């Protein structure tokens, strides 16, 4: 059974000690002063009959305005009302008493019966000392026939077990009826129970009180408050027409006194502002060993540009100090997200379209670029032919070369084409004339087939001359035209070595006959840029061809004198002399 200190007009249900335990009520309100009551000034009655109680010295005690039971019984349960009155007023104080049977009391392992009376609170700084005395011990001493004894318990493991005495050590021990903390440790915090045992007229009585011990940081640490946020260089972004939140966090060391954290706008607290757009939200962020971190958030609704010019200050204070800090704001420019999204989407679509267009029409685009910005090689070199065609001398490939390649390249695309069997003059040396034709051509067009470049053939000589021209001076490029599929194992050694650096264009039969087919477009990319600027250039080209034809007969007759090499090295001079 426990007692308490009720206030006027207050009612509480008290669960107490088991039957047979002593009970002491203090019915004096904290703000009331009185003298020891005399009937009928103080009247207490039970709920069953609402009658004035009959005091029994065997079971009840009365001391001043305090009423108690030496040995509580189950019949003592009920609502008790104390009436305090004088000539001008009357006050009532109510308290409910419930006496529990011993088997109804909940207790932890090794713990005495736990009372429902609120525990006393004691704060002890770490590394410091303090003495605990059991509450109501003095009242028990006045009623006892001798000196009471006290047993202390420390509740551990989530209030389920008790450390039974002796649980102390050099830093914590019981001295007489008190519990002495010489040096407070973190493990010493928690709930402590003290059971008072005393004799009253030959009977042993006891009651239990509880004390909640809290550990706090040592008193030697600084106790002044400090501001954690905002820091000195922090800038809060603010967007127009939006909600802006300014966060302030203050650290308050343990002090048994009041503390405060607040915002001011232009030197005024929020409750004095006429603008209701400003409000605050306070909360506790952390509590550790008595030290608390508190947060106050200033909320600004519908932020306006003129709010940037206001002074926002966060302040903290306790009895040891004061600190304030100004919050800096910077307007955050609103990005046009819709416009940016649309622009980005359009850009991605355009890039995708360009990729598709380039992937599908890259040959056409390349040809268009070459036709507009490409360099006509006829103005930069002294070559006579645009293309020299090398092929295996058989009826099928010869028909393809003469009726298809030669006709399209020369008649429709305007290239000057050299074919040995057609353009060579009788009486000359095949080797010398072959080398001369290849040297005077800008491209060597090799028609690949299964019979091409057989050992000792003229086609092999033409291929070697073209590859040597590419390797030595770079003035000649070799283009491979795959007329029929040929495995790499059928290629000659020179062709295998140079394949990486050579362009390969595949003939696909009827699909490639049209001039707009992939074959002809791909071939035109590898051929020289053909740009005829005027009619006079065409006439001049024809006259030079006639002159070269005349010289060709002379070269074949005088190959032993070195005239061929001079013609290859300086053909323009020869052309001028022939003209």
pLDDT per residue as tens digits for the range 373-404: 888 888 888 889 999 999 888 888 889 999 99
Q: Residue 364's pLDDT band (boundaries 50, 70, 90)?
A: confident
> What is the C-alpha to C-alpha distance for residues 321 and 325, in angstroms, rounded to an integer?
14
Q: Is residue 71 within 8 Å of 57, Cβ to Cβ?
A: no
* SS3 category, 116: coil
Q: Of 243, 254, 530, give the one whose Cα is nearest residue 376.
A: 530
The whole-number pLDDT of residue 244 equals 94
The mean pLDDT of 446-474, rounded to a whole number, is 78
The mean pLDDT of 512-519, rounded to a whole number, is 90
Q: Are residues 410 and 494 in the same domain?
A: yes
The mean pLDDT of 166-189, rounded to a whole number, is 89
Residue 85 covered by a domain: no
Q: Are residues 391 and 468 in the same domain?
A: yes
Residue 506 covered by a domain: yes
Q: Residue 165's pLDDT band (boundaries 50, 70, 90)?
A: confident
β-strands 268-269, 66-69 pairing:
unpaired
Q: Are residues 391 and 502 in the same domain?
A: yes
The mean pLDDT of 197-226, rounded to a whole number, is 91
Q: Say if pTM beats, i.e. exceeds, 0.85.
A: no
- What is the average pLDDT value for the chain, to the nearest integer? 78
462 is known as an active-site residue? yes
Q: Is the pLDDT of residue 347 over 80?
A: yes
Q: Is residue 144 within 8 Å of 150, Cβ to Cβ?
A: no
Residue 4 covered by a domain: no
Of residues 571 and 232, more confidence is placed in: 232
Domain count, the chain: 4
Highest averaged pLDDT of the listed ranges 11-25, 185-199, 540-554: 185-199
Of residues 532 and 269, more confidence is placed in: 269
Tell me, letter by letter, the H, E, C secondary structure of 244-296.
Answer: EEEEEEEEECCCCCCEEEEEEECCEEHHHCCCCCEEEEEEEEEEECCEEEEEE
Catalytic residue, candidates 462, 536, 537, 570: 462
Task: Write out the two tokens for 506.
Answer: 């595949």
Listed residues 331, 358, 390: the one ending a domain:
331
Residue 158 covered by a domain: yes
Q: Is the pLDDT of residue 288 over 50?
A: yes
Give every CB contact of residue 362 below 8 A, 6+ residues apart in sequence.
none
Q: Are residues 502 and 408 in the same domain?
A: yes
DSSP lists the bridge partners of residue 295 as: 249, 283
Residue 24 covered by a domain: no
Listed residues 187, 216, 245: the one ending a domain:
216
User: Edge-to-edge strand order for the sheet containing 178-181?
Assistant: 130-132, 178-181, 172-175
pLDDT per residue as tens digits for the range 299-324: 999 999 899 999 999 999 999 999 99
Q: Are residues 397 and 520 in the same domain?
A: yes
> What is the C-alpha to C-alpha distance for residues 362 and 369, in angstroms, rounded to an integer?
10
The whole-number pLDDT of residue 542 equals 52
The mean pLDDT of 329-345, rounded to a whole number, is 84
Of 38-42, 328-332, 351-355, 442-446, minimum mean pLDDT range: 38-42
Q: Are residues 506 and 402 in the same domain?
A: yes
Q: What percent of the chain has pLDDT over 90?
A: 34
Q: Are residues 208 and 241 in the same domain?
A: no
Quote the domain boundaries for residue 507: 376-526
The whole-number pLDDT of residue 352 equals 92
Residue 282 covered by a domain: yes
Q: Are residues 188 and 321 in the same domain?
A: no
Q: Are residues 236 and 295 in the same domain?
A: yes
Q: Residue 91's pLDDT band (boundaries 50, 70, 90)?
A: confident
Q: Of 216, 177, 208, 169, give the one whose Cα is nearest residue 192.
A: 208
> What is the C-alpha to C-alpha distance for residues 467 and 494, in angstroms, rounded to an integer?
8
Ramachandran region of residue 571, left (φ > 0), alpha (ψ -120 to 50) or beta? alpha
Q: Are residues 308 and 232 in the same domain?
A: yes
Of 304-308, 441-445, 569-573, minimum mean pLDDT range: 569-573
Q: Are residues 306 and 446 in the same domain?
A: no
CATH number of the domain at 198, please.
2.60.40.10
The whole-number pLDDT of residue 490 equals 63
Q: Residue 16's pLDDT band (boundaries 50, 70, 90)?
A: very low
Q: Sign of the C-alpha dihedral, residues 428, 432, 434, 439?
A: negative
Of residues 119 and 564, more confidence is placed in: 119
Of residues 565 and 78, more confidence is placed in: 78
DSSP lists the bridge partners of residue 240 as: none
Of 119-133, 443-457, 528-542, minimum mean pLDDT range: 528-542
DSSP lists the bridge partners of residue 154 as: 163, 192
Residue 550 covered by a domain: no
Listed residues 216, 249, 265: the one ending a domain:
216
Of residues 92 and 559, more confidence is placed in: 92
Q: Residue 450's pLDDT band (boundaries 50, 70, 90)?
A: confident
CATH number of the domain at 501, please.
3.40.50.10140
The mean pLDDT of 96-125, rounded to a whole number, is 72
Ramachandran region of residue 188, left (φ > 0), alpha (ψ -120 to 50) or beta? alpha
State the burial class of residue 523 (Cβ atoms within 10 Å of its Cβ: 0-12, 13-18, 19+). Answer: buried
The whole-number pLDDT of residue 83 equals 77
Q: Is the pLDDT of residue 442 over 70?
A: yes
Q: Are residues 477 and 522 in the same domain?
A: yes
Q: Is the pLDDT of residue 486 over 50?
A: yes
Q: Is the pLDDT of residue 282 over 90?
A: yes
> What is the C-alpha to C-alpha distance for residues 533 and 546, in angstroms, rounded to an integer?
21
Of residues 145 and 50, more confidence is placed in: 145
DSSP lists the bridge partners of residue 200 as: 203
The C-alpha angle with vertex 50 and arms to 6 and 205, in degrees rounded to 5, equals 55
End-to-end Cα distance, the chain: 140
The mean pLDDT of 444-461, rounded to a whole number, is 77
Q: Is the pLDDT of residue 536 over 90?
A: no
Residue 475 covered by a domain: yes
Q: Is the pLDDT of residue 230 over 60?
A: yes
The whole-number pLDDT of residue 315 equals 96
């Amino acid at each position: 059974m426990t007692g308490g200190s009720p206030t006027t007009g207050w009612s509480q249900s008290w669960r107490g000690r088991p039957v047979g335990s002593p009970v002491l009520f203090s019915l004096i309100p904290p703000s009331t002063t009185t003298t020891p009551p005399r009937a009928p000034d103080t009247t207490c009655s039970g709920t069953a009959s609402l009658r004035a109680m009959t005091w029994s010295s065997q079971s009840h005690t009365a001391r001043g305005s305090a009423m108690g039971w030496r040995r509580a019984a189950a019949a003592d349960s009920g609502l008790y009302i104390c009436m305090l009155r004088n000539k001008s007023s009357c006050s009532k104080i109510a308290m409910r008493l419930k006496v529990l049977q011993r088997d109804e009391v909940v207790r932890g392992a090794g713990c005495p019966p736990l009372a429902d009376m609120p525990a006393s609170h004691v704060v002890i700084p770490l590394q410091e000392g303090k003495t605990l005395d059991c509450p109501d011990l003095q009242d028990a001493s006045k009623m006892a026939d001798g000196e009471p004894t006290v047993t202390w318990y420390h509740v551990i493991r989530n209030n389920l077990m008790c450390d039974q005495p002796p649980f102390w050590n050099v830093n914590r021990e019981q001295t007489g009826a008190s519990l002495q903390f010489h040096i407070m440790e973190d493990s010493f915090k928690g709930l402590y129970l003290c059971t008072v045992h005393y004799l009253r007229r030959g009977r042993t009585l006891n009651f239990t009180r509880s004390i909640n011990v809290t550990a706090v940081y040592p008193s030697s640490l600084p106790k002044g408050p400090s501001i954690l946020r905002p820091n000195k260089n922090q800038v809060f972004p603010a967007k127009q027409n939006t909600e802006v939140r300014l966060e302030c966090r203050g650290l308050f060391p343990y002090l048994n006194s009041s503390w405060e954290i607040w915002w001011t706008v232009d030197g005024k607290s929020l409750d004095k502002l006429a603008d209701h757009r400003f409000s605050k939200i306070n909360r506790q962020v952390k509590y550790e060993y008595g030290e608390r971190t508190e947060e106050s958030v200033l909320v600004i609704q519908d932020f306006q540009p003129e709010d940037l010019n206001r002074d926002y200050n966060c302040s903290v204070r306790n009895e040891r100090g004061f600190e304030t800090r100004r919050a800096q704001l910077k307007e955050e420019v609103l990005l046009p997200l819709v416009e940016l999204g649309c622009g980005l989407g359009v850009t991605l679509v355009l890039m995708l379209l360009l990729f598709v267009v380039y992937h599908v029409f890259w040959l056409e685009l390349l040809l268009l670029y070459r036709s507009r910005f490409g360099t006509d090689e006829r103005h930069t070199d002294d070559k006579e032919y645009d293309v020299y065609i090398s092929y295996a001398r058989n009826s099928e490939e010869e028909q393809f070369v003469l009726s298809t390649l030669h006709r399209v390249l020369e008649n429709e695309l305007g290239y000057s084409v050299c074919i040995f069997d057609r353009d060579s003059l009788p009486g000359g040396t095949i080797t010398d004339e072959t080398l001369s034709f290849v040297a005077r051509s800008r491209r060597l067009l090799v028609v690949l087939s299964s019979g091409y470049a057989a050992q000792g053939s003229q086609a092999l000589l033409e291929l070697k001359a073209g590859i040597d021209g590419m390797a030595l001076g770079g003035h000649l490029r070799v283009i491979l035209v795959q007329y029929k599929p040929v495995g790499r194992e059928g290629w000659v050694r020179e062709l295998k070595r140079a394949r990486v650096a050579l362009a390969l264009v595949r003939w696909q039969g009827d699909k490639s006959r049209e001039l707009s087919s992939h074959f002809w477009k791909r071939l035109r990319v590898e051929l020289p840029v053909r740009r005829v600027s005027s009619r006079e250039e065409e006439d001049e080209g024809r006259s030079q061809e006639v002159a070269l034809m005349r010289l060709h007969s002379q070269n074949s007759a005088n190959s032993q004198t070195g005239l061929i090499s001079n013609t290859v090295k300086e053909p323009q001079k020869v052309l001028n002399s022939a003209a």
